[in-house]
Amino acid sequence: MMDRIEETLRGLQSDPSLSVREAASASLDRLRAKRSVASYLNLLQTGTLEERMRVVFSAEDIGGSEGISLLLAALNDREAEVRGAAARVLAFSPTVTVLKALVERLPKEEGVVLGNLLETMGRSRRKELAPVIGKYLGHPDPEVAGKAVEAYALVAEKKEWEKILLQARSESEAVRAAAARALSEWSGGDASLG
């Protein structure tokens, strides 16, 4: 069947319509990339930092379950740069499986990677993540705490917004700036927070 699909797509690359030719070409590229998942997984284990970073961005292009499996594997990379990039790209696939994997990574991470995990979880807008993200509001790393504030604003219920208002008085400039940005997410239906 795969041979017939590829043959059909190659034929469509000669279609008179530009949009059909482009779609066929993109589909062929995606099929070839899907077949390369095993080699990408091997690169995540043995490749240089640059090769492993390319795998993360290729996984984004591959998409689907194959791309997500590559990104989830990249979350366990030995380099923070690869894990952080994978966490950011996973924001576009906020499935339950992905979110569970992100929550499991939280206690193992710090710095930028931890911030990226929190940011991705917030982008999911899943209210059930509020207690998890809320634990990081007072994190000692101001950049992590700032990411937590912004993520929390995306998942918090109306009654939990007092916690965000408190962050506007933080000693940290980064946290106060994050609180200012987070306050634009307020959509409680009236002009007051109380």
- Looking at residue 147, its pLDDT comes to 97
Most confident of 36-45, 60-69, 94-103: 94-103
Q: Which positions ≥6 away from 181 have C-beta within 8 Å?
A: 150
Evaluate if residue 61 carries a pLDDT over 60.
yes
pLDDT in tens, 141-181: 999 999 999 999 999 998 899 999 999 999 999 999 999 99
Confidence tier at 191 by pLDDT (50, 70, 90): very low
pLDDT at 65: 87
Q: Is residue 127 in a domain?
A: yes
Q: Can you read off the two tokens belonging to residue 62?
A: 């591959």
Q: Are residues 116 and 158 in the same domain?
A: yes
| Count of domains forming the chain | 2
Q: Would you call 13 exposed, middle or buried from its count of C-beta atoms within 10 A (0-12, 13-18, 19+)?
A: middle
The tens digit of pLDDT for each residue in 95-140 reads 999 999 999 999 999 999 999 999 999 999 999 999 999 999 999 9
Is there a single domain that holds both residue 186 and residue 119? yes
What is the pLDDT, as a whole number, of residue 187?
66
pLDDT of residue 132: 98
Q: State which residues form the domain around 56.
A: 36-93
What is the band of 188 on the pLDDT scale with cuts at 50, 70, 90?
low
| Residue 130 located in a structural domain | yes
Whether pLDDT at 17 is above 70: yes
**Amino acid 189: pLDDT:** 47
Q: Are 62 and 37 in contact (CB under 8 A)?
A: yes
CB atoms within 10 A of CB 8: 11
115 and 79 both lie in a single domain: no
